[in-house]
Amino acid sequence: MNYFKVVSEIVCSEIRNLIEEGKLVSDLNLGQVGVETTKDPVHGDLASNAAMVLAKPAKKSPKELGEIIVDRLLKRSEFEFVSLAGPGFINLKMVPKFWTRLLPRVLESGLKYGDCDLGRGKTVNVEYVSANPTGPMHIGHARGAVIGDALGNLLSKAGYEVSREYYINDAGVQIDVLARSVHLRYRQALGEKIDKIPDGLYPGEYLKQTAKDLVERDGNKWCKLKEEIWLPELRNFAIESMMSLIRDDLTALGVVHDVFTSESTLVFNGSNSEVVNELKSLDLVYIGTLKPPKGKILEDWEKRPQLLFRSTKFGDDVDRPLQKADGDWTYFASDIAYHLNKFERGFNSMINVWGADHKGYVKRMKAAVKAITRDKGTLNVQLCNLVNLLEDGRPAKMSKRAGSFVTLREVVDEVGKDAVRFIMLTRNSDAPLDFDLRKVLEQSKDNPLFYVQYAHARVCSVIRNARVSFPSLLLDDSSLAKADMNGLSDPGELKMIRELASWPEVVERAAMSKEPHKIAFYLSDLAASFHAFWNRGNSEESLRFIVLDNPQQTIERVALARAVGIVIGSGLAVIGIEPLEEMR
RNA sequence: GCGCCCGUAGCUCAGCUGGAUAGAGCACUAGACUACGAAUCUAGGGGUCGGGAGUUCGAAUCUUCCCGGGCGCGCCA
C-alpha cells in the first residue's frame, strides 16, 4: 500500500476514461505520469505532472489538457480541492479522511508496515565487511558492516530474498605474514626474548593471545622447526583465531552474515584455474604486455608479458592481469572465481559493499561478472568512504598500545552499538563521515539517534499516561485501529500522518537506490514533526495527546502517536536498532 | 596523463532520480517550562546551487567545456 501509487492511479484512470470517451488521443503513454509531495502547503498535499508530460503527445497545451483532467478529478470524492497551477501542475488536496484512514492500517500491520514487493521474492546476495583476517576490526570496517547489514534488512523489507555473505581473504601473502607474526609471538610466549617486532610483520598485541592459545594447544611443538614445516599449520591456526576475533567484533556490533566463503578453499578446489579456462574458451584471455600507467612513477617497472583478461571488451579501461610473475593467481582471478561461485549458487543479483579505496577495482569486476555469467548476472558495488574518528571535533587520540589503531571494539564499548550503527547511516555512503565520540553520547538533538529515540520514548510515555488517565479505555493496537479518526484535523496531525503515509515510498526508493541512509534521514524528519506537535501541546492544552475531558480525542491522538512509534520502530529495525521505551 | 566521485547558507550536509519562491541542523538573534518528559519547540536574518554554454514548457539535478578538491591507476589485498 503506497499512497503515491493510489493517487497516481486515480489520476491515470480518469485519463484513461477520457481516452475511452474519445476526448484525448488514444496513444498516450501514462508511464511518466506520477504524483509528488508539494513543498508549499498552499499547493495542497500532492501534485501531478500529468498535464505537463502528456501535453505534447496529446497535442494540447499543458493548461488546456490540465483543465480537462482537473474537471474530471473534481468529481471524485477523494479530493478536497483540485487546481491547475504554475506551468501545469495539478495540485491535489486530499480530504482528511483519505489520510486518517491510513492509521488503522499502520496499527494493524505493525512493524510490517512499509514492506513492499519491489523484489518480488528475487534472491540477492549482499557481501559486506570481508575484512582481511589479519586483526580485529577498526572503525572504518564498521561503516561497511553497518551499511551492508542495513542494506540487507532494507532489501528484505522490500521483498527480496537476501543472503548475507562474508568473503574471507585467507589466501594471499598477507596470511603468510600473519603466520610468521604469530610464530614470533609464539616463541615469545615460550620464553624467548623478542626486543622488537621486525619490519614487515604485524606488531599488534592482539597476536599475543593467539600465540598463547597455540602454546596451550600444541606446547612447544612448532618452536624449533623450519618455516616450511610450521607455516601451513600456523596459517590455519592464525586465520581461525583472527576470524573468531572478527566474529566477536561483528557480534558486538549486531552484524550478522548467513554465509562465510573462504578464498583459500576456492583456490584449493581449483576454481581459479577453472574460471580462467572458462574465460579462455570464450576467447577472453590472452598473453600481452601492458603499458606503464602514465603520470605515476613506478621505479620497478619492467615490461613483462602477462596473462590478461579482456576486460576492455566489457567497459574497463585496460585489460587486467590474472596471473602474477611467480605463477600465482592474482586477487582478481580469485575474485572472478568467487563471483562465478556466487552466481552458480543462484545469485544473479550481487551487491558488494566495498571501501572507497577499491574504487579502481569496480569496473574490472563488473566486466568480469558480465563476461563470466554471459550477461545474466549483475554486480552492484556500494562504496563507502572514510570515517574520521573525532573527539570534541579534534581527531581522536590513537590507542596507546603500539602498533594498534582505535579498534571497533573500543568504540562500541565507549558509545554502544546503536550509536555506531545510526551515525554510520547519517551520510551518503560515498561521502566521508565524521564520527565524534563525544557528540554521539550527547543527549541533545545534535545526536540524531537520541533525537529519534526520544520521540519513541515520548510515544511510549503518552500511552503509559493515557492508561492511567483513562483506565477504562482499551488502548492496545487492535482496539486503537477500530477508532474513528475523524477528529484528527490539525495541520500538525495531518502532517505526521502524511509522513507516515510516505514510509512505504521511502522504503521503496531507498531499496531501489540501495541507500539505507535514507531511512535514517526519514526517521529524523518524522521525529521532528512529532516533537513539534508535542510542543504545541505545552502552550495549548487542547493539542495534547491526552485530553482529560475528551476520551474520544485522546483515543485518536494515542492512535496517531502509536502509529508514529510503530513506524519509528520499523525504521530502526532496518538500521538494526531496538527502540527505547524510556530514556531516563 | 587517464578513469571515477565531489563542489549547495559562515560550518556540517539534505534535495524525493527534470518540477513551482533551493531546504534542514549547528552557530547567531529573539521568544515559549507551576513539565501529557522544555533532553524539546517557535520565529528571524543568511544563497549568482564552483563558472560558462547547451538540451526544453522547466535544470542544483541531464550534456559539454573550464576552475577547484578527493581517490584510484601491472605482478597488494
Q: Which nucleotide is nearest to A445 (CA to C1')?
A: B39
| Distance B64 C1' – A317 CA (angstroms) | 22
Taking C1' of B23 and every protein CA, the nearest residue is A39
Span CA (A537) to C1' (B31), Å: 17
Q: What are phi and psi of A84, to 5 degrees?
A: -100, 135
Can you give the distance from the CA of residue A98 to the C1' of nucleotide B16 in angstroms? Answer: 21
CB contact set of A81 (below 8 Å; sequence gap of 6+): A44, A91, A92, A93
C1’ B26 / CA A457, Å: 24
Tell me the residue type at A265: T
Q: A398-447, pLDDT tens digit by residue?
A: 544 434 457 899 899 989 999 999 999 998 888 888 888 888 888 888 88
Nucleotide B72: closest residue by CA–C1' = A360
Q: CA–C1' span, A446 to B26, in Å?
A: 8
Contact of A415 with A437, CB cutoff 8 Å: yes
**How many Å apart are A359 CA and B70 C1'?**
12
Say how far apart CA A210 and CA A31 lie, in whole Å.
61
On the CB side of A301, CA atoms within 13 Å amount to: 10
- What residue type is A286 in one-letter code? Y
Closest nucleotide to A296, Cα to C1': B73
Q: How far apart are CA A160 and CA A293, in angstroms?
A: 42
Cα-Cα-Cα-Cα dihedral sign, residues A43, A566, A517, A261 = negative
**pLDDT block averages, 10 residues each, chain A of length 584:** 84 91 85 84 88 86 89 92 89 91 94 94 94 89 93 96 95 91 95 89 92 96 93 95 95 95 93 94 91 71 86 88 88 94 95 88 92 92 86 65 66 91 90 86 86 94 93 93 91 91 92 92 93 90 91 94 96 95 85
For helices A491-513 and A551-575, the axis angle rounded to 10 degrees is 20
Which nucleotide is nearest, taking the CA of residue A292 and each C1'? Answer: B74
CATH 1.10.730.10 in chain A is located at: 444-575
State, as a whole number of angstroms, the distance between the CA of A261 and the C1' of B10.
50
Determine the protein residue whose CA lies at the shortest distance from the C1' of B38. Answer: A535
- Structure confidence at residue A297 (pLDDT): 65
What is the homologous superfamily of the domain A3-94 according to CATH? Arginyl tRNA synthetase N-terminal domain (3.30.1360.70)
CA A354, CA A429: separation in Å to the nearest integer?
A: 10
Task: Considering only CA atoms, name the residue closest to the C1' of nucleotide B2.
Answer: A294
Checking each nucleotide's C1' against the CA of A321, the nearest proves to be: B74
Residues in chain A: 584
Q: What are the φ and ψ backbone dihedral angles of A389, each rounded to 5 degrees? A: -85, 120
- With vertex at residue A467, the alpha carbon angle to CA A461 and CA A472, rounded to the nearest 5 degrees, is 165
Are the CB atoms for A165 and A342 separated by under 8 Å? Answer: yes
Chain B: nucleotides under 7 Å from a protein CB? 1-6, 12-17, 19-26, 32-33, 35-42, 57-58, 70-77
Residue with cell 493515557: A466
Q: Supply the DSSP string of A18-48, one letter for each residue.
A: HHHTTSS-S---GGG--EEE-SSGGG-SEEE
**Nearest nucleotide (C1') to the CA of residue A293?**
B73
pLDDT at A443: 84
Q: What is the pLDDT of residue A397?
A: 63
Q: Which nucleotide is nearest to A134 (CA to C1')?
A: B77
Cβ neighbours for A249, distance < 8 A, ≥ 6 positions apart: A136, A137, A407, A408, A409
| CATH of the domain spanning A444-575 | 1.10.730.10
Amino acid at A82: V
Q: What are the tens digits of pLDDT across the range A158-192? A: 999 999 999 999 988 889 999 999 999 999 999 99
Cα–Cα distance list, A450 to A92, A219, A271, A583 (Å)? 36, 51, 48, 9
Q: Which residues of A87-124 are buried (b: 16+ CB within 10 A; e: fewer)?
A: ebbbbbbbebebbbebbbebbebeeebbbbebbeeeeb
Residue pair A315/A363 in contact by the 8 Å Cβ criterion? yes
| Nearest nucleotide from residue A464 CA, by C1' atom | B36
CA proximity to A210, closest of A169, A187, A182, A247:
A182
Q: How far is the CA of A291 from the C1' of B47 (A)?
A: 47
